[in-house]
Amino acid sequence: MKLVRFGAIGAEKPGMVDNNGTIRDLSAHVPDFSGAHLAPEALAKLRDIDPATLPKVPEGTRLGPPVADTHNFIAIGLNYADHAKETGQELPSEPILFNKATTSICGPYDDVIYPKNSRNMDWECEIAFVIGARASYVDAKDWAKYIAGYTICNDVSERKFQVKRNGQWVKGKSAETFGPIGPWLVTPDELTDPHNLAMSLDVNGERKQTGSTATMIFKIPELLAYVTEFMVLVPGDIITTGTPPGVGSAKKPPEYLKVGDVMELSIDRLGTQKQKVVAISG
What is the reported pTM? Answer: 0.96
Backbone angles phi, psi at 219, to 5 degrees: -75, 170
What whole-number distance in Å separates Cα of residue 159 and Cα of residue 156?
10
Nearest to 188 by CA among 213, 154, 220: 220
Peptide bond into 31 cis (omega under 30): no
Counting every residue written for the chain, the total comes to 282
Give how far Cα 11 sits from Cα of 63, 68, 70, Å.
11, 11, 16
Domain ranges of the chain: 68-279
pLDDT at 167 over 90: no
pLDDT digits (tens, 9 = 90+) for 199-210: 999 999 999 999
Q: Which residues pair with 186 in a beta bridge?
A: 2, 150
Higher pLDDT: 85 or 66? It is: 66
pLDDT of the residue at 227: 98
pLDDT digits (tens, 9 = 90+) for 122-133: 999 999 999 999
Q: What amino acid is encoded at 2 in this protein?
A: K
Contacts of 117 (CB under 8 A, 6+ apart): none
pLDDT of the residue at 22: 97
Q: At 50, is the pLDDT very low, low, confident or very high (cuts 50, 70, 90)?
A: very high
pLDDT digits (tens, 9 = 90+) for 96-120: 999 999 999 999 999 999 999 999 9
What is the percentage of the chain residues whose pLDDT exceeds 90? 92
Q: At 83, is the pLDDT very low, low, confident or very high (cuts 50, 70, 90)?
A: confident
Hey, what CATH class is 68-279 in?
Answer: alpha beta
C-beta separation of 167 from 175 below 8 A: no
